[in-house]
Chains A and B, each alone.
Chain A
Amino acid sequence: MIYSEYLLLCIGVPVLLSSFFVRREARRYSVLFLIGMVTCLISGYISGYLHLVTGGTPEETAVYIAPMVEEILKLLPLLFLLSVLRVPPLSLMQCAAALGTGFATFENCCFLLQNGTQSLTYTLIRGLAVGVMHIVSLLLLTMGLSTARRYNALSTSSVIGALSLSVTFHALYNLLVSAPGAPSIIAYTLPLLTALLLYIPFRGMTSGDT
């Protein structure tokens, strides 16, 4: 058993302190990175609670419950940025990348501490797969939200619609990775391939924003 809160303090405090000594863009990245880590911790609490309530196996929790909880919690800071702080679409994409990176970093750290480092290759694969998956799912969500916001169509239906895309993508990854062999290999390559596919519309949105 590990104490995730201590781990959050270990990584989070230096990140938080450094944010006072850096410029605006870097500070925003640091703060959002930290929010991503806190979101990961809270989603761990909620998934753990639901795991106890539903009485399912850890695998069932990872496949069915965790994707929904994690994506809903990742949506909340994005909605705050979009609706309250009125962050423009381009900046929102960058914010999403920072949030996703913080989330993935914390999750990877917890995983490595709990399960140990099996091998450098596995650690690299996990870093590339889970790390990219969280960023990709957040970027998918942000693309939906940015599209809605750009054309003044931010409504409950569009937000939940965009959320469903990221949840389904995340759940597909968790489902495939839960089975050994070919499904796991497909799962590990899925985030990277999607990231490459997303790069084109992402560039389009970026150029359209400037």
Chain B
Amino acid sequence: MSMETIRNLDNIVQIAVLLTVAAGAFLSLGKSARPMSMAFFALGMTTYLVSDIYWIAHLLLKGGSRLPFTAADMGDFGLFLLLASASKAVFEGDSSRPPFVLTVAVSLFGLSNIALWTAWNGEWIRNLIGGIALGYYYWRVARDLWAAKALSRREWQGLLVLCVVLIGLLIGWFWLTASWRKRVEYGCYVLLFAGIVWFYAKTVLALRSGRSKAAVSLAFATLAWSACTMYMCWDPIYYAADTAFTLTAPLALLALRQEACVA
């Protein structure tokens, strides 16, 4: 299967799913007891959909080359900010503060993301602006996971170790020989996709057990981890992460709907 076919398949799935999720979110607005989070989620999905259509049209009409920062990037980063706003709306009024070490860890993880992207592609304008948006979303997700008590102490420790190992491997990658680089890349792919599967499974379990706030925070964490995976991978693994991100969107909608009905 050629790269173009994989990309087209990913785009078709993405447009179909995002269209359905955005329409579902807009239709749920009237029935929702917490319309603000649903409205932000609906706007976020619409932004991502339009950004996706823009990028497909760009590929067809102009090819892959573009300026350092375009509307497609702005759409992607707008999505993270709108998702952060949706998440914030769900946990509005929650006064629990996450420990300082969590804020430090998330900030370091976000900064290392920006540094790694810049070292890979050299596009520092896009990486810096995108990194700030995604970093804020990471922080929001971590804060809400903490507030919802969605993860146990051991799970937090495991997640921290996973992040440290990933960043360590990816920094070490620059000093390795070509054959070792491939091995490290495959190792990182396994860890990143294991993270997606783990978050996804935890979201489904939280949904089934009716822990709606935990489900929302976990669904948003799955989206954050999928986005992280996307930006850390080359083609065609990038498209697999993109599809994982897309397939998490309906789960996030279900979690938000459940949470809105409970409230």
Contact = CB atoms under 8 A, between A and B. Distances in A.
Nearest to B72: A168
Interface stretch (A6-14, A109-117, A155-163): A155-163
Contact of A160 (B51, B78, B89): B78
Contacts of B136: 157
A164 B85 contact: no
Interface stretch (B36-44, B164-172, B174-182): B36-44
A64 B61 contact: no
B110 interface: no
Contacts of A155: 85, 88
Contacts of B39: 147, 151
A69 B121 CA distance: 26
Interface in A159-176: 160-165, 167-172, 175-176
Contacts of A147: 36, 39-40, 43
B33 interface: no
B2 to A, nearest CB: 24
Nearest to B61: A179
B23 to A, nearest CB: 10
B130 to A, nearest CB: 12
A151 B62 CA distance: 41
Most buried by A among B36, B46, B54, B89: B54
B183 interface: no
Size range of the chain A interface in the assembly: 35 or more
Interface of B is mostly: helix
A153 interface: yes
B234 to A, nearest CB: 25
A168 B58 CA distance: 12
Given A160-B78, A168-B47, A153 B71 contact: no
A54 interface: yes
B36 to A, nearest CB: 4
Contacts of B58: 175
A135 interface: no
Interface string A166-210: 011111100110110001000000000000000001001000000
Interface in B202-251: none
Interface in B10-68: 26, 30, 35-36, 39-40, 43-44, 46-47, 50-51, 53-54, 57-58, 61-62, 66-67
B40 A164 contact: no
Given A157-B81, A168-B71, 19 more contacts: A157-B82, A157-B84, A157-B136, A158-B40, A158-B81, A158-B82, A161-B44, A161-B47, A161-B79, A162-B82, A165-B43, A165-B47, A168-B78, A169-B50, A171-B71, A175-B57, A175-B58, A176-B61, A179-B61
Interface of A: 54, 56, 60, 63-65, 67-68, 143-144, 147-148, 150-151, 153, 155, 157-158, 160-165, 167-172, 175-176, 178-179, 183, 201, 204
3 tightest A-B contacts by CB?
Answer: A164-B78, A171-B71, A161-B82
